[in-house]
Amino acid sequence: MEEKDTYFVAVKLFLEDDGKLFIFKDKWGDWDLPGGRIKKDEFNAPLEEVIARKVKEELGEGVIYTLGKPEVLMRHERV
């Protein structure tokens, strides 16, 4: 049986263009921000790499963005 994570860590992006915040409806029809769970093997990866993966997965390769300063950033691993 596949072992499941006991908790999830996620990253959400505030994408702004010309004063407008990008939000979209997810596959369940709920409003959401781009982003999502960080994979177990990405726990120590630079945040920029995690964000690049999430943007590519959810918005495609053609999205051009500039990262600002994180609003909230905390990493804590339970052992």
Is pLDDT above 80 for 73?
no
Q: What is the distance between the alpha carbons of residues 11 and 30, in angstroms, rounded to a whole number? A: 17
pLDDT exceeds 80 at position 8: no
> What is the pLDDT confidence band of residue 77, given thresholds at 50, 70 and 90?
low
Q: Alpha-carbon torsion 15, 36, 11, 67, what sign?
A: negative
pLDDT tens string 13-35: 899 999 999 999 988 899 999 98
| Rounded Cα–Cα distance for residues 46 and 31 (Å) | 27
pLDDT in the model for residue 5: 58
Tell me how far apart the alpha carbons of residues 14 and 8 are, in angstroms, rounded to a whole number. Answer: 20
| Region 29-55 average pLDDT | 89
What average pLDDT does the segment 36-40 reach?
Answer: 85
Pairing of strands 24-25, 31-32: antiparallel
Residue with tokens 């921000």: 33
